Amino acid sequence: MTALVLALAVGLVVSGDDEGGQALRLLYDGSTDTALARLGAAAAARPEDPLAAYLETLAFAWKVEERPDSTALDKDLHRRIDRVLALADARLRRDPDDVRTLFARGAAHGLRSRLHLFRREGRPAARASVRMREDLIRVHERQPQNKDVLFGLGLYDYYVDVLPRLVKLIRFVSGMPGGDRERGLAMIEEAKYGADIHGTEVQVQLYDIYAHYEGRQDSALAEIRDLHRRYPHSPLWALRLAEHERERMGLYAESAEAARGILRSCAAGHANFAPVVEAMARLALGEALAADLRLVEAREALLAVEDGHPEASWIGPRARLLLGRLLEIEGDRVAALVHYRAAAAASDRGLRKDARSAVERAIPKHEVLATRLLVEARRLREAGRDAAAPYREAFDAWPGCDEAALRVAENDVAHGRLSEARRLLEDLVARDTVRPPWVRPWSRLLLARVHDLSGERAAAVVRYKEVWDAPLGRRELREEAARGIERAYALPAAGPSADKHSR
């Protein structure tokens, strides 16, 4: 429920105060303690102002979430929220229509909901979010053009409509007002342009929504890249960029470069790039290299963090699990078991389960063989050489390998074997999940070409437009889609040419 945690409460502030805006920019740029100190000083100078107290509390909430494994600061955050609510209630008793104070109170309820959800406490989170919504609606009635208010109401509408089943049950039992997914997203997107100081918070939410709920990975990439560009001194955005490029886009070289950029900042001694950040970056680098099937380089990166880091207990087990898989692919099951067993002691339940499964069951021999062939095939394509043979061997060994199936279909299209290609491509396009992610837009592009070569122009254009809309960060695929939309595809007269775009 991480996205919901952020959604119901992040940044519901209305303020044109330059000092507050500057402090929040420091917060987003990774200087949490500096931002907190400045906002604390501002709140102390205006001790009866609930909005000033809220801004400080918002910064403190980020500090709490920087340490997800510790609840040591939770009571302090609740105490700060209580203070904002008390200040707001005192003012509203004197003036029930004080819009600024209504917003501060709604924001404080939102922060409480955020914390409860961060700790997976559904019922109190639901109650607090309803109170947040009540105050924001009153503000919206008086200030319908206020984009910060629109943002908060949009978040409520969106997330209440896409909540997991358990939270939907809480909504039903508690009488929590329903939401509207489409309306909520439209409100959030509108709030991106015109929120006084919440452009960053809107971007954070849009990234999470596009990446985790809407499946609009190219839109998510644009948001997280812009966050990294705007706040280069925060390791948070760089780490999230590396993860997004790797896991949802299959942009492995770009992900590795994002991780290397973090390591360069660590080496330069930047204050925000602590040793734990360096460990996270080395893990991210190893994961990107492993996904790119650069096995030796990946192992070197992961060995540097196999013992983990005391401030992030998950780093070591994740590195160990992946090291084991790399060794097993290279044929050393005995050495792999050492790492699997170490990873099986992880505190994270998912990691522990995966590691124990790896101890009990070896990677099937046909998958090991196919993966080795994929290594060879990718390097051949990168060099501009024919990789059809190793891809065909990989597919014959492991018909369930999406990448091998795609490349076999690609070769079939190039040689006019359309029925065989159509069968493979239609299966890939219909899948809910394919690995690597770039298999999906490639499959759509090739299926469009099959439609064109079969005289099915209308169907081809539909597929080309799908590639244009979601190329997963690949300019070359979008360019090919544009050409396909403009004119029907025909096999080159001189025969198929090597395609170097493998990642």
* 312: β partners: 309
Half-sphere exposure (CA, 13 Å, Cβ side) for 345? 10
User: How far is Cα 205 from Cα 185, in angstroms, rounded to an integer?
Assistant: 10
* pLDDT on residue 168: 65
Q: Can you tell me which residue has the tokens 């917003």?
A: 103
Distance spanning both ends of the chain, measured CA to CA: 31
User: How many beta carbons lie within 10 A of that of residue 172, not counting itself?
Assistant: 10
* pLDDT on residue 5: 34
* pLDDT on residue 498: 41
* pLDDT on residue 302: 98
* pLDDT on residue 173: 57
- The parts of the chain modelled with pLDDT lower than 70 are 1-17, 164-174, 197, 494-503
Residue range 262-300, pLDDT digits in tens: 999 999 999 999 999 999 999 999 999 999 999 999 999
Q: Can you tell me which residue has the tokens 């501009």?
A: 384
User: How far is Cα 71 from Cα 478, in angstroms, rounded to an integer?
Assistant: 46
Q: Can you tell me which residue has the tokens 């709140």?
A: 43
User: How far is Cα 58 from Cα 200, in angstroms, rounded to an integer?
Assistant: 14
Evaluated on CA atoms 470, 474, 477, 482, the torsion sign reads: positive
Q: Are 31 and 272 in contact (CB under 8 A)?
A: yes
| Of 33, 88, 99, 21, the residue nearest 64 (C-alpha) | 33
Q: Which H, E and C letters describe 306-339, residue by residue?
A: CCCECCECCHHHHHHHHHHHHHHHCCCHHHHHHH
Q: Are 56 and 38 in contact (CB under 8 A)?
A: no
Evaluated on CA atoms 309, 311, 313, 314, the torsion sign reads: negative
* pLDDT on residue 165: 62
**Helix or strand (DSSP H, E) at 18:** helix 18-28
* pLDDT on residue 233: 95
Q: Are 357 and 482 in contact (CB under 8 A)?
A: no
The per-residue b/e assignment along 107-132, b for 16 or more CB within 10 angstroms, e otherwise, is bbbbbbbbbbbbbeebeebbbbbbbb
Q: Which domains can be identified in the chain, with CATH numbers?
A: 2-231 (1.25.40.10), 243-365 (1.25.40), 380-486 (1.25.40)
By the 10 Å C-beta count (0-12 exposed, 13-18 middle, 19+ buried), 314 is classed as middle
Q: How far from the centroid of its chain's Cα atoms is residue 154's Cα?
A: 20
- Output the pTM of the full model: 0.90
Q: Are 227 and 236 in contact (CB under 8 A)?
A: no
Quote the tokens at residue 190. 């509108």
